[in-house]
């Protein structure tokens, strides 16, 4: 289902710093703009409550997940809150296995081909290339030449509507969007405008 959601719209909203009181309104404008995967990093205020609110507010075809997941215990807490996707900055095998055992979708962070192959062997659904600023489209192209056919690489870090083209040309099928989409303190209208700009760029380039 994660791959299906990204096939519909390859943009993943990363809502670092989201507060529960704004979760419903921000989630609704993102869904209206076309986002179908939304992630609340666990270093946000009361992240499990925000995940609960998003899951209860948005339609079933929108996957809700947690980012910056660092321990197997956090995986269980995410599942209990209704989260469906585990996103990590790294590829700790203990966390990968906990996520798969819990029946959750999995997007670990990878920065080398060795990490990418190891994460796929553990059942990763989507590989988060992090930080994207360090790697760039040439690395994407090189990785995709050797990774299994159908592997989804999603660069995260510094992605803007203006620099998506070079990554898509290299074979990228998705992006994680952070501060260019949402920062703490933004109004729903501001997030909606950012979301529409990203979706318009994505649709034009795809």
Active-site residue list: 39, 128
Give the distance from CA 97 to its chain's centroid.
19
Find the angle CA(6)-CA(140)-CA(198) to the nearest 5 degrees.
Answer: 45
What is the token pair recorded at 63? 């996957």
Dihedral of the alpha carbons of 128, 144, 112, 103, in degrees to the nearest 10: 40
Q: Between β-strands 153-155 and 85-87, what pairing exists: parallel, antiparallel or unpaired?
A: unpaired
**Is 10 within 8 Å of 175 (Cβ atoms)?**
yes
Residue corresponding to tokens 């939304």: 38
């Amino acid at each position: 289902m994660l791959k299906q959601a990204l096939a519909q719209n390859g943009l993943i909203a990363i809502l670092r710093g989201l507060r529960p009181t704004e979760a419903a309104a921000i989630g609704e404008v993102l869904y209206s703009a076309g986002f179908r995967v939304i992630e609340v990093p666990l270093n946000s205020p009361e992240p499990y409550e925000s995940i609960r609110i998003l899951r209860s507010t948005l339609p079933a075809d929108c996957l809700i997940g947690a980012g910056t997941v660092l321990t197997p215990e956090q995986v269980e807490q995410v599942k209990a809150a209704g989260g469906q996707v585990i996103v990590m900055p790294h590829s700790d095998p203990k966390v990968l296995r906990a996520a798969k055992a819990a029946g959750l979708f999995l997007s670990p962070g990878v920065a080398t081909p060795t990490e990418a192959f190891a994460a796929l062997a553990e059942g990763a659904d989507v590989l988060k290339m992090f930080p994207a600023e360090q790697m760039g489209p040439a690395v994407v192209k090189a990785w995709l030449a050797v990774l299994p056919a159908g592997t989804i690489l999603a660069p995260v870090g510094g992605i803007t509507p203006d620099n998506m083209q070079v990554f898509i040309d290299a074979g990228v099928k998705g992006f994680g969007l952070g501060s260019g989409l949402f920062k703490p303190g933004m109004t729903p209208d501001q997030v909606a405008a950012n979301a529409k700009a990203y979706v318009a760029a994505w649709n034009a380039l795809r």
